[in-house]
Chain A
C-alpha cells in the first residue's frame, strides 16, 4: 500500500509535497526547534568563527570586519617557529599515549578478576567501589592527590621522610608531572574502564568453559584460550578508537593540575590555546592552533573508525 502512496506522492508538485509533509509532521518539527537552535548557535555558529585563524582580529571591527592576514598561514607559522610550542605537541601526545597504554591493561586485568571471582557478593562490592572515582570531579581528585603527594603534608612524602628519605615534589616538578597525570587518570578510570570488558566477557558462550573443564583445562588456560580471544575484538576496537583521540590529553584534568612550575612538561595544546586566547587575548593565534587540532583530530577519528570497522569485518 505504501508504495502506491509513495508513487502518487512523488508525482505531486513540490509545494504540495511540503505542505503535506508539514501537515502530517508539524508537531514533531515544532519539538525539534529548541534542539536545532542549540546546535546552530553553540555548535555550528562557532565553526564560522574559525575564519579568525586567517584574520588579524581587532575586537572593535569584529570577526568579519577584521582584515585577512597575509600570508594566510601566518599564525600556523608563528606557532611552529617556537621550539617551546613543539614541546606542547610532544607533551600532548606523550600524555595521551601513556594514558592509553597504562590505562587499558589494568582495566582488563581487573575485569578478568571480577569475572573469575567465585564470591559474587565480594566481586560486586569491589566493582561498585571501583566505579566511584569516575564520578568525582578532577578538582576533587586533585584534592585527593595533594593529600597523598604534597611535599608538606602528603602521606607518601610522610612515609618517605620517616624512612629517612627526601620529600619528592610530585605535583610541582617537571620530572613527575606527567606521571602524576597518568597515575590519577588510572586511579579515576580503572574500575569504570572495566565495564565494557565485563559486558564482553558476559557475552561469551558459557558452554565453551564447560567443555574446557571437561577436557581438564585449568582456569589460567581457560582465560588464555577462551576469555581473551572472546574479548580480543572489543579490546582492539577500543584501542583503535582511543588512538583517534590522541590530541585530547584531557583539558579539564591537566588544567586543574597545571601550575606555572610544571608548564614545560604539562602544557598541552588545549591549555595553551586557553592561556593564549582567553588569558592573553591572542584570539587569532589560539583559534589557528585550535583549528589545526580539530582538523587533525577529526581526520584521526575518521581514520581510526574506518580501521576499527575493517578490523571487525576481518574477524568475521
Chain B
C-alpha cells in the first residue's frame, strides 16, 4: 500500500499522543521512586531533582521502617483489606444470588430499594451517627461494615448471575440439590472471573481507604496506612527529626512508594479483570 504524506502525518500525531500520555503518566511516578532512592549528597550536588540516580541508597527505607509508625499502619491496612474483602465478597454474593432469581417474590422490590440508596444518600453526618450507634467506632469494623456491599458491584454480580443458563438450576433442583448447594457447587465455580474482578475492586478500595478512617477512627493505634502517609506528607516539620540523616522529602517519597508498591506489583496481573468489570458495569448498569 502506498502511504501518503497525510497518512504519515496522521501516524506521527497518533504516536505523539500516545507517547505524551505514556510520559506524563510515568515521569511523575519515576521522580517519586528515584527521589526515595537518591542519596542526600547527590540530591544536593545536582541541585534538587534527579530522574535517574547514579547511586542508590536504601537509607530512607531503613529509616522509615525502623520507626514502627508506617508498619503499624500497614498491619491495620492488611487486616482491613483481607477480612474486609472476604466479607465483602460473601455478603455481595449472598445478596446478588437471590436477587438474580427473578421468579422469587420480592426480588424486584428489594433490588429497587437497594438501587435507591445509590440515588439518595443520607449524607455524612447521619451515617456517622449511626456508625457510632452501632458501636463499631474505633475498631477495624468501622472500616469494614459501613461499606460492606457496594451497590455497583452488587449490580454487576447480579447481572452476571442472571446470564447463567436457567436449565442449570432446573437440572440441579431435579437432582435434589439445595439452594445453598446450587450456589456453592454450580454457581460459584462458574463465577470465578467475576468474583476475581469484584474482589479486586473491593481490595483496592480497602487498601486505598482514607475517608472511612478519617471519619470513624480517632485512636492513633488503629490508623491505617493511608492516614499515616497523609500525616507524613502534610506535616511541615516531621516528627522524625531526621533532617541530617535523611531529608524529610526523601523519607516521604519512600513512604509513598512503600504504600503503592503492592498495587503496582500485582497491577499487571489484575488489570484485565478491572477493565472487564468496568465494561460489564457500563453495559448493564
Contact = CB atoms under 8 A, between A and B. Distances in A.
Contacts of A123: 18
B148 A195 contact: no
B267 interface: yes
Interface residues of B, number: 94
Contact of A122 (B18, B95, B113, B260): B18
Among all A-B residue pairs, the 8 with the closest Cβ atoms: A35-B95, A290-B123, A49-B126, A137-B208, A46-B122, A27-B179, A143-B256, A158-B48
Interface stretch (A82-90, A92-100, A110-118): A110-118
B117 interface: yes
Interface stretch (B23-31, B53-61, B63-71, B188-196): B23-31
A290 B35 contact: no
B122 A144 contact: no
Nearest to B268: A128
Interface of A: 21, 25, 27-29, 31-32, 34-36, 38-39, 41-50, 52, 63, 109-110, 113-114, 116-118, 122-123, 125-126, 128-133, 135-140, 142-144, 146-148, 150, 152-153, 155, 158, 161-162, 187, 190-192, 195-196, 199, 218-220, 251-252, 255-256, 259, 270, 273-274, 277-278, 283, 286-287, 290-291, 293-295, 298, 301-302
Contacts of B40: none
Contacts of A135: 204, 208, 263, 267, 274
A140 B4 contact: no
B149 A35 contact: yes
B11 interface: yes
Interface string B1-36: 000101100110111011101101110110110010
B234 interface: yes
Interface string B114-137: 100101111111111111001000
B233 interface: yes
23 contacts: A29-B104, A32-B99, A34-B91, A35-B149, A36-B110, A38-B149, A39-B113, A39-B114, A39-B149, A42-B131, A43-B122, A49-B127, A116-B14, A129-B26, A130-B21, A143-B256, A147-B253, A155-B49, A158-B47, A273-B124, A277-B125, A287-B123, A293-B123
A88 B45 CA distance: 45
A293 B126 CA distance: 13
Interface in B86-114: 90-92, 94-95, 97-99, 101, 104-106, 110, 113-114
B170 to A, nearest CB: 13
A126 B21 contact: yes
Contact of A38 (B113, B148, B183): B148
Interface of B: 4, 6-7, 10-11, 13-15, 17-19, 21-22, 24-26, 28-29, 31-32, 35, 47-49, 90-92, 94-95, 97-99, 101, 104-106, 110, 113-114, 117, 119-131, 134, 145-146, 148-149, 154, 178-180, 183, 204, 207-211, 214-215, 226-227, 229-230, 233-234, 249, 252-253, 255-256, 259-260, 263-264, 267-268, 271, 274-275, 278-279, 282
Contacts of A52: 125-126, 129
A99 B78 CA distance: 33
Contacts of A150: 249
Among A118, A125, A140, A191, the most chain B Cβ lie within 10 Å of the Cβ of: A140
Given A118-B11, A219-B7, A252-B211, A109 B17 contact: yes
B58 to A, nearest CB: 19
Given A25-B105, A32-B95, A143-B253, A196 B127 contact: no
Interface centre among B26, B92, B179 (most CB of A within 10 A): B179
A153 B13 CA distance: 34
Contacts of A138: 208, 210
A123 B11 CA distance: 12
A29 B98 contact: yes
